[in-house]
Amino acid sequence: MAFWEKAEKVMNFVNDGLQRMQESNQRQMEQRQEAIDRSQQKASRIENDRELVEKFKSSSGVERVGYGKELESRGYLERNSEGKMQRTNKKL
């Protein structure tokens, strides 16, 4: 087998691996976004704002992101210039 044939096989192998890795990352991102959306829907069903704040404080991970988005839509949180969430002056 000539050098270029071996080099082509290696490149095909590397390209296939990169493509699988990219597809895997895409699936993980989609699953994370779905989990965030589910937690935001769950948070939107909480009518009491104080209860929502307590759930936000006690949660972590994607669940916390979902609760944070709901608090943002209710006006209790906002994004600062750096894109981080911060409290607003709205009282419970």
Q: What is the pTM of this model?
A: 0.75
Residue 20: both structure tokens together: 């699988």
Q: Which amino acid is at 79?
A: R
Residue 77 three-state SS: strand
Give the Cβ contact number of residue 85 at 10 Å: 15
Domain extents for the chain? 3-87
Q: What's residue 54's pLDDT? A: 95
5-64: per-residue pLDDT in tens? 888 988 999 899 999 999 999 999 999 999 999 999 999 999 999 999 999 999 999 999
Q: What are phi and psi of 77, to 5 degrees?
A: -130, 155
| Dist CA 8 CA 52 (whole Å) | 57
Which one-letter DSSP state was computed for residue 31? Answer: H
